[in-house]
Amino acid sequence: MSARVDVKLVNLTIDGNPVRVPEGTLLVEAAKAVTTDIPVYCYHPKLGPAGLCRICLVDIEKAPKLQIACNTTVTEGMVVHTYGEKVDAGRKAVMEFLLLNHPLDCPICDKGGECDLQDYSMAYGASASRLADPKSSKPKAIDLGPTIVLDDERCIVCQRCSRFDEIITNERSLVVKDRGQRDVIATASGEPYRSNFSGNVTELCPVGALTSKTYRFKSRPWDNARTHTTCTQCSVGCALNVDERYGAITRTMSDEDDAVSDGWLCDRGRYNIAFYGDARRITTPMLRTPTGEFVQIGWDDAIERWAKHLRDAVASDGADSIAAIGGGRLLNEEILVLAQTMRALGVTHLDWRAGRQRQASPGAYGGTYVDLETADLVVAIGRPPSQTAPVLDLRIRKAVRNGARYVTVGSHPSDSFVVSSHLARVSDLAAHVESATRVAFVWDGIDAAVGAQAAELAESLAARGTHVSTFVASEQSNARGAEALGMSPQNGSADSDGIFAAARAGKLRVLSLLGVNPMLHHPLGASAIRDAIERTDFVVCTELFLTETAKLAHLVLPARAAFEKSGHVYDLAGDVLAVNAGHTAPEGTLADADMLVALAAELDVTIAAPDSLHAQASAAIVATATAFGDPKFARASDATSETIGSKGDARNGVRIAIAANIFSGGGSVYFDERLAALRPSPTATFARETAATLGVHAGDLVDLVAGERTLVGLVAIITDTAPSGVVTVIDGLPDAPANEFADGETVALANVRSAERALTAGAV
């Protein structure tokens, strides 16, 4: 409800109950005040009224006919009856039309059991159809895209899906094709329906027309045991329901959550669940023998070895020979136990940064998600949040729908569908912020220099009285928690760069890597990280799978994933969100917290009582009010900030932009069989004129070279949205790891193979 005081209230009567609601309220919403449920199909609180299905008929006194509650606003003195003979007869007539061609699929329909059409048909519908002719037949089980199956016969054309695609995501690909009884849902272009938010239409669909491929026939709704938890795939922290059946996760569904997710989920959060039950998961601690083979060992043995190596290292070379990296993917409680155990040993080389991101806290102007949607200027700096924090991008799209302008800054192609303008530098923002009263900055946390420029701008805007809110869309889900809870370098101790440098210099005895994969993500690059790990006496890695990094470790400990443990995380806006175990973990795995508590016990280290951890974690975020773009977070080797966005000379080489993709990564997505169709293949994206200058055509295979480092076999894509002189590649792909390349550095194009030649080569 709005906080403004000048809202005029209207008095009306609904089913004999006096109701006072703000002027302009829709009748269907006003009825919720007296807990009267008016049936709806096309109406949805987030999508607004459409007046298509007519099921919400109500009787308004003095109105000549029944009115639809979803598109009628309340007026003073209105007397409404939401049930009664007249209303029921009206709804029965509407149901007859809706069910006219609806197939009797309920027993095999994935929606059966949680279907509004079923429920209202039981409540208002006739028991038999009066239709004498055969029902119209339409295509069934249509492959609408990589995630969605469409059944046109079941569709009642409420248009929730196409309105979601138009209003909420602004992508406008789903439309209603043809008219009358021949109308079907389709994409306007005829191409497969591809969207990072496609799963939401299956939840919006009030019937079983749109269903998820990953959930198809997995279970019936009543079989699922549901757990409410928080999605930890990215730093947004959307509310999520996990449905489990016979020990396997069948699906995840969104939950009403206006403060964080706004009720939506991205496809990564929704569909990336098959890895939980993947046979490739590690389920027993594994120790590397001197010959390089892994042997399975018991948990007691594993923890003892870890503790022994830590103790020996402290005794022989001091605590400086020990380091730990991790925390960005752990729960708050786990981060605290990790930091406390390590610090009790005297270890100071602790860092959560395992990728490009340097900073996770948004500083003094840290805003809430609602601040973002009420901004009139949203500035995204660096990697677009559409790929790092997709549901945050929906908030930005909501802000744009409310009239905001969305400006992106940096060298990445903007793919948010709502970008007003694209700028190369933060300094170019001056003209845009002039008229703005509420400005939101969304930074990727990578380039501290750019962050500092944005912080300076934010400071000056705030001084002028402009409302400023800042956000950091992190690479790792709980990066903000890790930074606040002690897994960041303090008083000059080494960050992850320094830790790996010390390891390469042979100064490190024990390195613990908890839930991180620096081989794929750390900007030092795979060869440097491999060198660092090989020169360290003992490397412990807690992982779900044998990732690039885990394969090199001396001891691999099987960890539990997010739905298998309980605790809390921070979202990027600083809210503490509860994570609840909703899936039975494979036997033999342990949560990182349990391993660390066992380690602490083995080391005779006293850590805080488990009950007090949550309170400690919640208090910590208040204590770390670091500035947005604080120079202390800067990377020692960061020299690229000035060159980002400047037009490179395309004839000699191009600047490389390393983009995020929501389906990249070497862990949960890579080991998810059901997501194979969504994983991006290695691509190189060029602007049209840059491609023309370089002589690259769409579909060509290209290699990128910078000194010794190469990226081989990228498929060229040509778009109009990419900045000129820049080639964009996707970060975090195990098949083409781009982490060795610095964002913005100049790379040369080599070995361009035309699409036909590449095809022939492939055939041979």
Residues that bind another protein (CB under 8 A): 105, 107-108, 112, 140-141, 216-220, 222-223, 246
Of 154 and 412, nearer to another protein (C-beta) is 154
Burial 321-343 (b: 16+ CB within 10 A, else e): bbbbbbbbbbbbbbbbbbbbbbb
Half-sphere exposure of 596 (CA within 13 A, CB side): 33
- Environment class of 586 (CB within 10 Å of its CB; exposed 0-12, middle 13-18, buried 19+): buried
**How far apart are the C-alpha atoms of 638 and 267, rounded to whole Å?**
33
In 3D space, the residue among 628, 206, 546, 724 whose CA is nearest the CA of residue 379 turns out to be: 628
DSSP 596-656: HHHHHHHTT-----HHHHHHHHHHHHHH--PPTT-GGGS-TT---GGGTTSPP-TTT-EEE
DSSP per residue, 288-321: E-TTS-EEE--HHHHHHHHHHHHHHHHHHH-GGG
What is the strand order of the sheet 9-14 is part of? 17-22, 9-14, 78-81, 57-60, 67-68
- Residue 157 three-state SS: coil
From the CB of 222, what's the least distance to another protein, in Å?
6
Q: Is the dihedral of CA 396, 238, 594, 276 positive or negative?
A: negative
3 or 128: CB nearest another protein? 128
DSSP 107: G
Q: Which is nearer to another protein, 103 or 498 (CB)?
A: 103
* Nearer to another protein (CB atom), residue 22 or residue 113: 113
CB nearer to another protein: give 185 or 532.
185
Q: What is the amino acid identity at position 588?
A: G
> Does an H or E element contain 567, and which?
strand 567-570
Least separation in angstroms between CB 150 and another protein: 13
- Rounded distance, CA 554 to CA 539, Å? 5
Least CB distance to another protein at residue 104 (A): 8
Q: Which residues, in sequence order, are bridge partners of residue 685? A: 717, 728
Return the number of the residue (107 or 707) whose C-beta is nearest another protein: 107
Q: CA 245, CA 240: separation in Å to the nearest integer?
A: 16
CB of 217 to another protein, least distance (A): 4
Give whichever of 5 and 246 is closer to another protein, judged by the CB atom. 246
Closest separation between CB of residue 114 and another protein, Å?
A: 13
d(CA 424, CA 409): 5
Q: Shortest Cβ distance from residue 245 to another protein (Å)? A: 9
Q: Taking CA 418 as the corner, what is the angle to CA 413 and CA 420, rounded to the nearest 5 degrees?
A: 80
CA nearest neighbour of 362 among 457, 472, 468: 472
For residue 118, report the phi and psi dihedrals to the nearest 5 degrees.
Answer: -60, -50
Give the number of other CB atoms < 10 A from CB of residue 136: 14
> What Rg, from alpha-carbon coordinates, does the chain have?
28
Nearer to another protein, 125 or 558 (CB): 125
Q: How far is the CB of 401 from another protein (least distance, A)?
A: 37
Report in angstroms how near the CB of residue 241 gets to another protein at its nearest: 20
Distance in angstroms between the alpha carbons of the first and the last residue of the chain: 65
Helix (H, G, I), strand (E, B) or coil at 194: coil
Compute the least distance from the CB of residue 118 to another protein, in Å. 13
Among 390, 368, 167, which Cα is nearest to 270's?
Answer: 390
Shortest distance (Å) from residue 248 CB to another protein: 10
| Closer residue to another protein, CB minimum distance, 108 or 750 | 108
C-alpha–C-alpha distance, residues 94 and 391, integer Å: 36
- Provide, rounded to whole angstroms, the least separation between the CB of residue 135 and another protein: 15
Which burial class, exposed, middle or buried, applies to 628 when counting CB atoms under 10 A from its CB (0-12, 13-18, 19+)? buried
Least separation in angstroms between CB 146 and another protein: 16
Q: Indicate the SS3 state at residue 170.
A: coil
172 vs 216, beta carbon nearer another protein = 216
CB of 39 to another protein, least distance (A): 24
Q: Choose between 103 and 713: whose C-beta lies nearer to another protein.
A: 103
Q: What minimum distance in Å lies between the beta carbon of 220 and another protein? A: 5
Structure tokens at 749: 């194009």
Residue 151 Cβ, how far from another protein at the closest point, in Å? 9
CA-based angle 20:24:25, to the nearest 5? 55
Q: State how far the alpha carbon of 216 is from the alpha carbons of 111, 240, 694, in Å.
A: 10, 19, 46
Neighbours of 417 (CB within 10 A): 16
Closest distance to another protein from the beta carbon of 634 (Å): 53
Q: Which two tokens stand for residue 257?
A: 């959550």
Instruction: Output DSSP code: residue 268.
Output: H
**Of 214 and 414, CB closest to another protein:** 214
Would you say 110 or 447 has its CB closer to another protein? 110
- Beta carbon nearer to another protein, 222 or 490: 222
Kindly report the backbone phi and psi dihedral angles of residue 6, in degrees, each rounded to the nearest multiple of 5, phi listed first.
-85, 15
Closest C-alpha among 220, 311, 211 to residue 270: 211
Placement of tokens 């590649």 in the chain: 729
- Nearest residue to 731 (alpha-carbon basis) of 265, 387, 425: 387
In the complex, the smallest distance separating the C-beta of residue 268 from another protein, rounded to whole angstroms, is 24
Q: Enter the DSSP assignment of 559.
A: B
CB of 224 to another protein, least distance (A): 12
Q: Which is nearer to another protein, 221 or 680 (CB)?
A: 221
